[in-house]
Structure 1
């Protein structure tokens, strides 16, 4: 068996496009969120009493699926000693991402990027960061010459951002307003 020698600069160079694209997503969402005049109108709350419960529950669903992502990733990398069925990681990630789309759309369209309240500022910035790091991870995924730490770090950052988003939104809603549907 021959050893594969990766040159550090080659592996890092392969991250240039994913990182630039992720950075552009962060910047574009932030600029749009700040420049766009928020409508203040709820969008797509079918099945929910209002926009805030919809966002809280969809974000909670995404968070639960993010935990599935962590467990299935650890299993795929042989860190748990248990096998997770094939496709669980991929499909839980897809579903988690899909659950975030109506939430992000509502946040950007109806509310915009806000900076008056520290919790809301943190939430706005975490939202932009989440989509940027998610973009970088998805673009780095098919590249075989990236450093071995790429996917765990990008995945960990996406997970951390999603936890932060949940804490600054759904957790806040459930503790300040109550559990409503």
Structure 2
């Protein structure tokens, strides 16, 4: 699971349940590259794409609440250690994160880019547009790191180009 080829125009970015057609021109075998998106993009688009197919999403505002597991085993260990330290009244050890993680939430630890968003937020914007093959869909993302070991969560607000008919969705 690497981000190396995600935005390469010659490499399909695929969530099999969302855009299997992106694999149509891939000749599988030695040297074939297929990229998968960021985990937060996968979670979001698995839920939203069926609605998008019925009434086309015009605007999506997504907030993610990402667990320590998303930053790796060392981040999980640091959260565990910090939790113990804070409960004992000690200053938290900050090796992975630049600030206290235990009992705290903060903007995702990815670097901030020129537009004021962090790289994690921009991944969601760019990957959604590539997967849906829609450069005009408006996506706003806010990615927050929360002090839980596992399980990301998301809040998604959608605006559609046309009203949804609940009968056709079912």
TM-score range, shorter chain: under 0.3
Structure in which a larger fraction of residues adopt helix: 1
Q: Which has the higher strand share?
A: 2
